[in-house]
Structure 1
Amino acid sequence: MTEPRTKRDPEGTRRRILEAATQQFSTYGLSGARVDAIATAADTNERMLYYYFQSKEGLYVAVLEAMYAEFARHEVSLDLAGLQPAAAIRTLALSIWDYFRANPRWLNLVNNENLHEGRYLERSPKLTEAISPVIDLLRATLARGAATGDFRADVDALDFYVTLAAMGYYLVSNRFTLRAFIGRDYTEASAIEGVTEMQVKMLIAYLQPASPGASPSDFMYP
């Protein structure tokens, strides 16, 4: 029953394999995920899995590529051009942080790949293609803010993006250990609202230009 349907719907089969693999890899990691379980969940067989992805590792890389590409599509779909620069940064930050909270499987995959020291991501040229549009979107927003005088002109877009993303990533990725360690549940709406407002204010404060007459030493610790 499986093979005739596979021949009629190759893209559907590939999509089902990716979805089943995403569930396996995000739950059990690369080493713990089982190829036979992926094939069963995808309603296909192991032969078709190897036909499309060559190996378990190849399937793992494809899952990472798909997850990063979906994240990038979500962010670049934002219409920031019509917003004031500070409002655009706030919108982008909230979008990224909300995406993390809504997609814990994505963070599980990232955490797992960090255990492998990123060596599987390094195999993929598609990852740079996925993140570049997001950085370009942020870079354009920062440039617009600098042009209006709302933002400093010396902000590195990539460093700022990493900082922005890290704020949301840490709270979601470490939500269980934070609850156990400090007793605050950052999955609760009230906790999310409070920390989000603080984080946005920190980001905007960093972007604001120095007041007239201020020198670089004014911002240095002794």
Structure 2
Amino acid sequence: MAKQLSYGAMREAFTRFQTAEPEPKGELEHVNVFTLVVAVALSAQATDAGVNKATRGLFAVADTPEKMVALGEEGVIEHIKTIGLFRNKAKNVIKLSQMLIDDYGGEVPNSRAALQSLPGVGRKTANVVLNMWWRQPAQAVDTHIFRVGNRSGIAPGKDVDAVERAIEDNVPADFQLHAHHWLILHGRYICVARKPKCGACVIKDICQYEDKTE
């Protein structure tokens, strides 16, 4: 685990991320906040590209909790069967849709606790929705962010909760809104797991990773 970067180094790193990508966007396709919740829940242990391919047809016919419940579990399965754990995920999609109708008047709530009460929605999913839809500086830590945070010294931590706290505590406030998107994109395309592309890295001279590649 790398040592936590200094405040000055953090500012410089995120200034470079911002210069390279001023308005980073999540890659999961959605048409409203309900479909965003479903897409993020489906993305667990699946790629965004795979989820997008499956949900285009699904969201074309079911973009509200009411339409999703009407489609039914088997109907959802038909659309998402190319995604891992599709049966369990379909069950959760129907359950969370019904819960939104019963408990929230068909509207998606905008608090972390309420979101996490939905079947199949954990803290990471809740944070993605809060960040992408309501533009709250919530930090959703996935495997990419965990890797980048620990390698670089931006957010070292023994588990995802520790990395999330490190981002919240140490990333300057003016970069908090987009921090998780910059880090996830950096981990997905540059700081990859097996052979990081250090030659293309905009924070190569700041990063504390000892086994840099050429």
The TM-score with structure 2 as length reference comes to 0.24
Higher helix share: 1
User: Which protein, 1 or 2, shows the higher relative CO under an 8 Å CA cutoff with sep ≥ 6?
Assistant: 2
* Larger-Rg structure: 1
